[in-house]
Amino acid sequence: MNNAALQFGTFFRLLFVLVLVSSSVALAQEVDLKPMTNEEFVRELYQLPKRPGLRDQLVQEIRQRGIDFPLTPGLKSLVATKSGSDEVLRRTLEEADRRRSNPTSTTHTLPPAAEAAELLARTKVATLGAADAMPDFVVRQAACQMPRPNPAILTT
């Protein structure tokens, strides 16, 4: 077997492994889009005392995926114990629980473009009218400096 054929075979093996790895990463990302389960969260939470740097990764994952379980007082207590009463993690969990329990309140819809343009035009007219109605004057400030008291007079 010549050297060119060996390199050609190695190239295709490497290409196959690269395609396989990239497809498995893509599949893993699709799975990660599901909300985080209670078991996943508790598993990561128990690792926090050993690996404190994991907290930022856990917070980011909760923000991206959300949670699929109610936030109970017992779970809040466990979070406080394992995270050292970390405020960022607590607030992130509370926000994720609000989004889980009421998902429609977090999706804001913008008004139609015509309505937004009309509101902006009315606001501009009102602001310019208020600015024209303001008085135009210059303020002068006069400051006077008191002389220092004589120490000899104060001691008698």
CA dihedral 88, 94, 97, 101 (to 10 degrees): -150
Summarize pLDDT for 32-70 with one digit per residue, the tens: 578 999 999 999 999 988 988 888 999 999 999 989 898
Q: Which residue has the higher pLDDT, 6 or 89?
A: 89
User: 69-99 burial by CB neighbour count: b if 16+ within 10 A, else e?
Assistant: bebeeebeeebeebbeebeebeebbeebbeb
d(CA 116, CA 113): 5
Instruction: Please state, in angstroms and as integers, the Cα–Cα distance from residue 92 to each residue in 40, 55, 60, following that order.
Output: 16, 11, 9
pLDDT digits (tens, 9 = 90+) for 66-102: 898 988 999 899 989 988 888 999 999 999 998 888 8
Tell me the whole-structure pTM to 2 decimals. 0.47
